[in-house]
Amino acid sequence: MSEVAQFSLFEAAARDAEAVEPAPQPAAPGETAESAVPVSELNAAVRRLLEASFGPLWVIGEVSNWRRTAPGHCYFSLKDESAQLPCVMFRTEARRLPTDPEEGMEVCAYGRLTLYESGGRYQLVVQRIEAKGEGLWRLAFQRTLRRLEAEGLTDPARRRPLPAMPRRVGVVTSRGGAALRDLVSVIRRRAPWTHILLSACRVQGESAAREICAALDAVVRHPGVDVVVLTRGGGSVEDLWCFNEEVVARAVASCPVPIVTAVGHEVDVTIVDLVADLRAPTPSVAGELVVPDGAELRAGVRRYGAALAAALRGRSRRADERVARTAERVGLGISRFLERSGARLEQLSGRLGALSPLATLERGYAVPLDPEGKVLRRIGMFLPGKHFRLRVVDGEVSSRVEALRDATPGGSAAGEGAR
Amino acid sequence: MNEELDFEATMAELERIVSALDREELDLDEALRLFEDGVRHVRRANELLDAARGRIEELIETSSGEIRTADLEIDEEASEDD
């Protein structure tokens, strides 16, 4: 029996069943032991029947007995209270799942019904699985996060400070994206001297995770890159998914220089954000976080300039004050010296006055002097008839020795004495 | 050479100079020397901020698997689209 004939036979049987007419044929295949149908033929026929009768469809149910085989194919059942449906998801499709669903998780599976001929098992060949809401994505997120947390990779204490003034900013993103443009324009505006090095990669799709890791690795190898920005513009959960992948998160966590992430919009938090040194809500904010504001730096320099001038003014004011104080002290010293000197002078001149012979002459004494000006103290120094001078307070008197008289006890008078 | 260190170091030096000038015990010519030093540092800091525009480059892998850099043109004027 040819396959075509066999198929039409079963088709005919199906049509007849629908028509609710009794089968008129006497010796249809399988009707008698003699016309028995081989198992493989039957299964093949049922499979064709099944595949022809149902187009691809969505089935809702709870996941049961999920298992992933070594080659990557996944087997499970969908069930509800009273029935279950065997399902298979082959490797190509299964690879796109963010994670394996949990036991009992309610999902919608999209696929084609078929019969697994060698096992005689009817099954749904699943192409897509969607959990309620973002169930699978959230589940995958939580699972990865738990693993990273367990290793301490999300510990805030791991976060490094960013360099105050990076020489070269490494950027990992797609070449044509708005994220790159926004980031570059902010860096240009704030710190135009900063070098920027792009390491381009795909930021969505199946190869994205691998490409991001490679681009990150390449950019940090480049000399002079002292901070990295990993960024991407907004997108759906699925678009941003690569930033939740464990391999990317680990590459970010082990980045040798500080790394800032800016993925999607402000509300999108991805796993890389949780292991990075800093998360920026948008690419533009990332630019503001990685480079200083040149205008602020300039203001800082100006403040130092002003502080220098003020300090110098302070110094010279203090110096002036010191000079004034010193001068004051010096002046005080001089006047004190003068005061003291004056008093001493007076005292000295007083004593000088007391010693002066003029004072004695004033009192009425006179001093005899020989022509040479020698004071004549004894009568023996006077020679009778000799001239001498007599010094009185206001002048001299020319005199002559007339007679001499000794006034000492036992002395004899001689001559005539002074006149 | 190292712009970061240079600017940061310059600012740190300025900080040191200004606080030294604020102390009493310096004599005037020492203070004047510090002041001149400070003015030089202010000039240096401004020069660093006025440095030439940084380059924008891209890492390129050559057909031989070697990585090199190439200048990258970015149209900064384009509007934000996401």
Name residues 299-338 of chain A within 8 A of B (Cβ).
Answer: 300-301, 304-305, 307-308, 311-312, 314-316, 318-319
Range A152-292 classified under CATH 3.40.50.261: yes
| Of A261, A264, A262, A215, nearest in space to A241 by CA | A264
Specify whether the CB–CB gap between A148 and A246 falls below 8 A. Answer: yes
For chains A and B, what is the number of CB pairs under 8 angstroms? 128
Residues of A within 8 A of B11 (CB-CB) are 300-301, 304
Q: Is B72 helix (H, G, I), strand (E, B) or coil?
A: coil
| Of A78, A132, A96, A89, nearest in space to A112 by CA | A89
A314-to-A311, B11, B14, B35 alpha-carbon distances in Å: 5, 21, 17, 12
Residue-level pLDDT at B5: 44
Is pLDDT larger for residue A35 or for residue A319?
A35
pLDDT at A399 over 50: yes
Phi and psi at residue A136, to the nearest 5°: -70, -40
Instruction: Tell me the three-class secondary structure of chain A, residue by residue.
Output: CCHHHHHHHHHHHHHHHHHCCCCCCCCCCCCCHHHCCCHHHHHHHHHHHHHHHCCCEEEEEEEEEEEECCCCCEEEEEECCCCEEEEEECHHHHCCCCCCCCCCCEEEEEEEEEEECCCCEEEEEEEEEEECCCHHHHHHHHHHHHHHHHCCCCCHHHCCCCCCCCCEEEEEECCCCHHHHHHHHHHHHHCCCCEEEEEECCCCCCCHHHHHHHHHHHHHHCCCEEEEEEEECCCCCCCCHHHHCHHHHHHHHCCCCCEEEEECCCCCCCHHHHHCCEECCCHHHHHHHHCCCHHHHHHHHHHHHHHHHHHHHHHHHHHHHHHHHHHHHHHHHHHHHHHHHHHHHHHHHHHHHHHCHHHHHHCCCCEEECCCCCECCCHHHCCCCCEEEEEECCEEEEEEECCEECCCCCCCEECCCEC
Crossing angle of helices B3-22 and B28-49, rounded to 10°: 150
Residue-level pLDDT at B11: 87
Name residues 190-209 of chain A within 8 A of B (Cβ).
Answer: 191-200
**Which ipTM score applies to this complex?**
0.77
CB contact under 8 A, A184 and B76: yes
Per the listing, tokens 């085989």 go with A69
Per the listing, tokens 């960013």 go with A162
Residues of B within 8 A of A223 (CB-CB) are none
In whole angstroms, what is the distance from residue A65 CA to residue A86 CA? Answer: 10
A275-to-A159, A248, A268 alpha-carbon distances in Å: 8, 10, 15
Is pLDDT larger for residue A322 or for residue A412?
A322
In whole angstroms, what is the distance from residue B51 CA to residue A105 CA? Answer: 60
Q: Which amino acid is at B64?
A: S
Specify whether the CB–CB gap between B20 and B34 falls below 8 A. Answer: yes
pLDDT tens digits along A7-34? 555 565 555 555 555 656 667 888 888 8
Neighbours of A270 (CB within 10 A): 25
In whole angstroms, what is the distance from residue A351 CA to residue B16 CA? Answer: 66
**A87-104 average pLDDT score:** 88
**A259-288 average pLDDT score:** 92
pLDDT tens digits along A210-260? 999 999 999 999 988 999 999 999 888 888 889 999 999 999 999 999 999
Specify whether the CB–CB gap between A201 and A175 falls below 8 A. Answer: no
Q: Select the residue of A164, A167, A184 nearest B74 (Cβ to Cβ).
A: A184
| Of A27, A23, A1, A26, nearest in space to A12 by CA | A23
**A60-76 average pLDDT score:** 92
Residue-level pLDDT at B80: 46
Name residues 364-393 of chain A within 8 A of B (Cβ).
Answer: none
Token pair listed for A276: 């990075």
Please tell me which residue of chain A has the smallest CA distance to B48: A193
Specify whether the CB–CB gap between A201 and A214 falls below 8 A. Answer: yes
Is pLDDT larger for residue A81 or for residue B53?
A81
Q: What percentage of chain A carries pLDDT values higher than 90?
A: 43
CB contact under 8 A, B76 and A168: no
pLDDT tens digits along A290-308? 999 989 999 999 998 888 8
Q: Is B45 helix (H, G, I), strand (E, B) or coil?
A: helix
- For chain B, the structural domain boundaries read 3-71
Residues of B within 8 A of A234 (CB-CB) are 82
Is pLDDT larger for residue B49 or for residue A330?
B49
Q: Which amino acid is at A53?
A: S
Token pair listed for A118: 């060698």
- For chain A, the structural domain boundaries read 3-138, 152-292, 294-355, 361-414
Token pair listed for A177: 């994206």
CB contact under 8 A, A218 and B35: no
Neighbours of B2 (CB within 10 A): 10
Q: Is residue A224 within 8 angstroms of chain B, CB to CB?
A: no
* Number of alpha helices (DSSP H) and beta strands (DSSP E) in chain B: 2, 2
| Of A179, A254, A176, nearest in space to A213 by CA | A254
Residue-level pLDDT at A17: 55
In whole angstroms, what is the distance from residue A61 CA to residue A106 CA? Answer: 6
Is pLDDT larger for residue A191 or for residue A320?
A191
CB contact under 8 A, B57 and A195: yes
Class of CATH domain A3-138: mainly beta
Q: Select the residue of B48, B52, B82 nearest A233 (Cβ to Cβ).
A: B82
Per the listing, tokens 């499709």 go with A93
Residues of B within 8 A of A179 (CB-CB) are 82
